[in-house]
Amino acid sequence: MGLDVTVLVVDWDHSGGRLPRSASACWRTPHTRTTTATTVPVCADAGVEHGWVRRPDTPWCALYEFFRTLDSFKPHFWAGQAWEDVHDFAEPDLRAALDVFLAGLFWLGPDDADTGPEDEPVVGLFPTERDPWHPRLLVLRTPEQVPDLARAWAVAAPLLEDLRAPYAVHAERPGRWTANFEEFAILVRDWGEVVTGASRSGRGLIGLPI
């Protein structure tokens, strides 16, 4: 078994100081999946393929299913590794924007260091666990932090295609999660959807290790 991740957009005011518990309750209860054709009642853990999962009676919380990740954290981890491989070959504006965007979500950043307080959840990639029975959050971004990510994504999104050629040379790894540029771009654009949605609604992001 590997590490899983459940990404939620959450209303901080509703959850107060019980964010992990409230978000977990939201994830475990029935939701509805909104498509272009209809609204389909589902459970958040019932194999929704891709996109937002919402429940009318818990409007303070929405789950996002990433495309073909099977809820595993591995694609996100390997996308971070791929960015490190191609980082120095990206155009400067794209490199600067993706540095901010990815480091705020699942990439440790250029210093590869955890600078968070010892007794608080680390923002970003999953930290070393002191207590595996009570894991900390994979991602924690407050409503005040999310707009910075949204602005970085607004810069990176139209430039992302410029990464295709250098990615093929420096980061393509057939046979692993996030094996090529297409898979990298799909995952990053999914995160762009999450961040944009959270920013527009004034909400924060939580990544639960479940």
- pLDDT tens across the length of the chain (210 residues): 578 999 999 998 875 545 555 555 555 544 444 433 333 333 344 445 789 988 787 788 899 999 989 889 999 999 999 999 999 999 999 999 999 999 999 998 876 544 333 334 434 433 444 444 445 688 999 999 999 999 999 999 999 999 999 999 999 999 888 999 999 999 999 999 999 999 999 999 999 888
CB atoms within 10 A of CB 174: 6
Distance separating alpha carbons of residues 150 and 145, to the nearest angstrom:
9
Distance separating alpha carbons of residues 52 and 31, to the nearest angstrom:
10
Per-residue pLDDT, 159: 98
Per-residue pLDDT, 76: 95
pTM above 0.85, yes or no: no
Phi, psi dihedral angles at 204 (to 5 degrees): -105, 175
Tokens 């209809």 sit on residue: 38
Nearest to 35 by CA among 50, 20, 18: 50
Per-residue pLDDT, 168: 97
Q: Partners of 68 in the beta sheet?
A: none
Cβ-contact 41, 53 below 8 angstroms: no
One-letter amino acid identity for 130?
A: R
Nearest to 72 by CA among 106, 21, 101, 100: 106
User: Per the structure block, which two tokens stand in for 161?
Assistant: 């295609």
Per-residue pLDDT, 56: 81
Per-residue pLDDT, 107: 92
Per-residue pLDDT, 48: 54
Per-residue pLDDT, 67: 94
Per-residue pLDDT, 113: 42
Phi-psi region of 43 (alpha: psi -120 to 50; beta: other; left: phi over 0): beta
Distance separating alpha carbons of residues 207 and 138, to the nearest angstrom:
5
